[in-house]
Structure 1
Amino acid sequence: MSKKTLVSAITAALVVGAASTTFAAANPFSDVPADSWAYDAVTTLAADGVIDGFPDGTYKGQQTMTRYEMAQIVARAMAKTDLEKADKALVDKLAAEFAEELDNLGVRVADLEKKSDNVKWGGELRYRYYDANHDAGEDTTYNRVMFRLAPKAYIGNSGWTANARINYSLDMGSDSNAIIDPSDNDASVDLAYVEGPLFGATVQAGKLPVFTATGLVFDDKIAGVQATFGSDVFKTTLAGGRFTNNPEDAYAVDGKAHISNSDVTTDFYGIQFDYTPNEKLALNAGYNALTGLDDAREAWAKDVIHQSAGYDYATYGDDTDAQIWYVGGKYAFNNSIALNGEYAQNTSADKYDDAWIATLNYKGADVADAGSWGMYAGYADLGKNSVPAPTYDEIAGGQKGFIAGVSYVPAENILATVKYFTGEDSAEAGDNDANKFFANVDFFF
């Protein structure tokens, strides 16, 4: 990229409204005369410390620059705190283009970015619909719009950040069997935690997300602490805290709230090891423990709706604990095809004591790449007592069968997903047929 091209890009972001400015500074570069088309822009950027020249006092605007030189200029632009919204958007695009070079420049650039905006805002607008059918038991539907904000605030130059996630959920359905969310049509904060370096580890504390066994065992929130340490090749993650099941598991039967485990509160402990020796192979193994389960599960089993429906009380384990061990991994045959598998076993459970999933994935959707897409197909057997909070949208704990899905990015930061499950509910429910159609559209910002 020539410096003439550079000036065109950077000037659009930083020299808006400069026509009314009087340039009192002397000509900073001997080879950029006052009558040059680029004089005003180059002088302004030099005065602001965004660009500099060569030791001999020249600018050499026709000389090709390296990506690292460009990254340094972008870093300086990011440090400006008085940018208009549109100008900052363009600087952010340049930062995305030169992200790798900026990262390689290290802490100095990270500090500049933090100074440019102490609070970063992200989020999404999501529409989700699904229809779950059971030969035995009530069918359920979900038809909801959710608006989510995710602020991140930098805490000085400590390397620590404060993070939150705020959801507003709006029910779009009126079916008597539609999902009932306790926060229906209201805002809720489901994440609030700090994150930063401590004794060589990355530590999170507060109400934070935990993800184990690539989502087979646990993808939810705990109120506690999580620490990750190690390298990109081998890392260890420790977590502990209090867990309460997701209230989205609740739905209505004959207009009455059906709790479906959403009142289970328990202590959670976990350790996971991740080994990624190369781009093709990724392995994981770990252990999750949930303690103090029986009282909560018994209350669930004995509620009036479950009694009238004839539900039998089944615990996560023989006593009050669940002891879940798991192992799994991924192997990429090439850039397009990968095989994923995970297995978990609850050694304390008296029923449905193991779970597993295997999928074949083709390509993948990248929200930053318009037109990208991916698909998968596989089989899952999710023994309920081994999967307290699985990540899957199309299949639930206590079900087994075939799963498939496809995702597509019609435009940058828009992701459309369709998934389908066909199989059976658990033996506890009589091995009856079940299926589910799931559709989701995300708009990220």
Structure 2
Amino acid sequence: MKKHKSLRKRYLAATLALAISLSFAGTSYAAPAQKDIDALKKEIAELNMILKVEQRKSQAMEKAKEKKAAWNFDGDARIKYAELGSDSKMLERVRIGVNHDLGKDVRFHATWNVMNDNEFGLTNRRADNLYRDTASYYYGDFDGADNNWLSKAYVEMDKSLLGSNTTTIGRFGQTFGATGFWSDEETNGGIDGIKLTFDDKRITVGFANFGATQDYPTYVAGGTGATYPGGSTAVPYYLSKGLEDAFFINAKMPVSKATTFHGMYLREVGSKTANALKVANTDSKAEEPRLSKHDLHGIGISTKINEKVTFLGDYLQNIAVDGDQDAIYLSLRYKGADIAKPGSFGLNFDYRKVDAPYYTAITANGKQVQGSYSILCGNLLSSDRTLVEDNRKGPVFGFQWAAGHDLLVEGKQSFSTKNTETGASEDDYTSISLSTRF
């Protein structure tokens, strides 16, 4: 850059000298010799050529810097201690993200997720879960305790299809409702499909496979010595792959500066391959006679009570199963921690109530099996700020504190936890975590 400035100064000085010399040529003052004028012209030409070369180099360097800056990497890491009843476990998670502008209105994003965060059955190895009773039949997502997976990889375009604000194609996350207890965009993603936003991003419409990252769980043979969902010991059971292909709509409607109403709708699309069942410990699958177990309708509200207090609430119902399934999540939040602002903090007092999974006995591949269908999509999607479990209800207290630069301490404590179906007391959950970002 200094060399470039020096050349410009020399070029300007030579040009000025030539101009002065030529102006003297037509006056009574002594005219410069022609050879001096020719020498100046030659020097200017050489300087001009060198200057153009340096300009091209400078432009190339600027473009290289811009291209390098366009690939932005970021991430976060979390270490968490969790306890449930007499069980406890250390849990770790690292997320690495990359962002790249493909053009003025087109962006690419990907997140690589490395985790040992298996407390809610993200592995079917029961010994690796706090929730050992549910691990083997609720979430068959991963086989091991330590996992890494591509949780997000999508292209987002502005003002593209059907007059939408944005169009997103690939693997992404999606927030539903006010609390994100069912699914939150910032958690883990893992949804494969397409979504479009309209009306200044107040409305999101899409079609996606919500079970893209899930595996088929292990089939459990019948027998009196086995443990079964729903208390059965007579018949074998399976877990379907859960929610897969579905149309969905999420909307939010501000009614004042302080209050916004939320609504969601999700309808699973039945097919011969959707929700295939594993009825033996082999790769062979059976087809489920009832093709859809998710027809979700939800409403929510978020309102600022004052500058420091916010109330969030969601109600969700699944009408695809007999008797319907309900889920409620309410959250009263005070202030809020910002990891970029050391010393900031937040408190929340929540109430959750989730119905038990729906159980049904069917015949598949000539065998009677028992299916389990949760209203939840799995804890891979739920917001980190919420705590939801099948067939559990009760209050939850949480706090967040920015302990230092890029350091966040969070804690959760459930108490008076009950079985939604029977009302019996259940184990309370405790966790504390330390997160950082980079």
TM-score bucket (shorter structure): 0.5 to 0.7
Matches within 5 A, 1:405-420: 405-420=398-413
TM value normalised by structure 2: 0.63
The answer to whether the Cα contact below 8 Å between 2:245 and 2:268 also exists between their aligned partners in 1 is: yes
Distance 1:120 1:402, change over 3 A: same
For the residues of structure 1 that align with 2:335 and 2:242, how far apart are their CA atoms?
A: 38
Residue among 91, 103, 127 paired with 1:144: 91
Q: Please list the CA deviations of residues 348-407 of structure 1 after superposition, one character each: whole Å capped at 9, or x if unmatched.
A: 222561111222110001111111000110211122543334435533132111111000
The answer to whether the Cα contact below 8 Å between 1:359 and 1:379 also exists between their aligned partners in 2 is: yes
3-state SS, counterpart of residue 321 of structure 1: coil
User: What is the root-mean-square deviation in Å for CA atoms of aligned residues?
Assistant: 4.1
Gaps of 5+ in 2: 11-50, 52-60, 120-124, 130-134, 136-141, 230-236, 282-287, 358-373
Residue among 90, 95, 103 paired with 1:156: 103
Question: Corresponding residue for 1:312?
Answer: none
Question: Corresponding residue for 2:375?
Answer: 386
For the residues of structure 1 that align with 2:293 and 2:109, how far apart are their CA atoms?
A: 31
Matches within 5 A, 1:32-431: 115=67, 117-133=69-85, 141-157=88-104, 159-170=105-116, 177-179=127-129, 181-182=142-143, 184-197=145-158, 198-199=160-161, 200-201=163-164, 202-214=166-178, 215-219=180-184, 220-231=189-200, 235-244=202-211, 263-264=241-242, 266-292=244-270, 299=277, 320-351=292-323, 353-383=325-355, 384=357, 385-389=374-378, 390-391=382-383, 393-422=386-415, 423-427=417-421, 431=424
Distance 1:362 1:261, change over 3 A: farther
For the residues of structure 2 that align with 1:436 and 1:222, how far apart are their CA atoms?
A: 28
TM value normalised by structure 1: 0.62
Q: Kindly, what percent of the aligned residue pairs are identical?
A: 18
Distance 1:355 1:217, change over 3 A: same
3-state SS, counterpart of residue 117 of structure 1: helix
The residue type paired with residue 208 of structure 2 is G
Query: Comparing 402-411 with 389-398, which one deviates more in the overlay?
Result: 389-398
Q: Please list the CA deviations of residues 290-336 of structure 1 after superposition, one character each: whole Å capped at 9, or x if unmatched.
A: 34499987947x779xxxxxxxxxx9x98623211111111102110
Distance 1:228 1:172, change over 3 A: closer
Question: Corresponding residue for 1:438?
Answer: 431
For the residues of structure 2 that align with 1:151 and 1:193, how far apart are their CA atoms?
A: 11
Higher RCO (Cα < 8 Å, 6 or more apart): 2
Query: How many residues are paired up?
Result: 323
Distance 1:330 1:293, change over 3 A: farther
**Which is greater in Rg?**
2
For the residues of structure 2 that align with 1:218 and 1:387, how far apart are their CA atoms?
A: 9
The alpha-carbon deviation at position 140 of structure 1 amounts to 5.6
The residue type paired with residue 231 of structure 1 is D
For the residues of structure 2 that align with 1:359 and 1:213, how far apart are their CA atoms?
A: 12
The answer to whether the Cα contact below 8 Å between 1:359 and 1:378 also exists between their aligned partners in 2 is: yes
3-state SS, counterpart of residue 427 of structure 2: strand
